[in-house]
Every structure is written in structure tokens, then in C-alpha cells.
Amino acid sequence: MTFLAVVEGDAGGWRIDRDVLTDAIRARWSEVEIDSTHRSEARSLIWQFKTENGPGEAYLHEDGTCLYMDVREEDAIWLAIVFRRLAPTDLDLVFCDEGYTFDVRLRAGTTEAELTDLVSAAG
């Protein structure tokens, strides 16, 4: 399943710092392959890694305001929290799945446990 952490509305020129996000991903998963080949608007930078739940992939929209995650839900929640921490606190972020079966506001300071509860309640 694909999950998204995305800025809702105007990002005001902000974009994620790719290097800082890469460092966070590498801190969680030791084997990370990075593909910086621009494949499409949605796939401008791709991280591939092995999680304890199997292979995973995350990719960044070229505008730097949306992170797509093809991983199990708990890994997507972790990635979404990292994305949130790297974004300005005044930006509105949403965490959802590709089919919008759930759509939750991702507020600054949200913990993994809180986001897990929000997703459970919304789903």
C-alpha cells in the first residue's frame, strides 16, 4: 500500500531538505539505496531499503512537499513523523493512503503512537 505525507495548501516556498531526510532514513535502515534519477514529478528522488517487514520504498515529489511511502503502515507512520519534524510547524500536513480510505491531520509534535491512534480511528 502507498501512503503519503503531504503539505496541504500553500507550502510558502518550503521544501524538505533531502539530505536531512536521507540521513534520518539511513539512521533507521542501514541498507539504503538512493536513486536520484528524475523519473516523474512524483518520483524525483527514491530511497529503497530493507525493513524488518520486507523491502520498502519512499519517493519524493519534485516540489519537495510530498513524500510517498510504499511500506507497511508502521514504517509509513515513522516516515510521516520524520517528515513532519522536518517541516515548519505552521505548515498543514496530512497523512493518508493513496486511496484516501483515511486522511488525518499531521500536527507538529505528533508522536508515532498518536498518529497510529488517529489512523486507527479514521480507518
* pLDDT confidence bin for 30, thresholds 50/70/90: confident
Q: Which residue has the higher pLDDT, 38 or 24?
A: 24
Cα angle value 94/6/27 (rounded, 5°): 100
Phi, psi (deg, nearest 5) at residue 61: -65, 150
Q: What is the pTM of this model?
A: 0.95
Domain boundaries, the chain: 2-122
Q: Is the pLDDT of residue 123 over 90?
A: no
Fold of 2-122: TATA-Binding Protein (3.30.310)
pLDDT band at 53 (very low <50, low <70, confident <90, very high): confident
Q: Is the pLDDT of residue 113 over 90?
A: yes
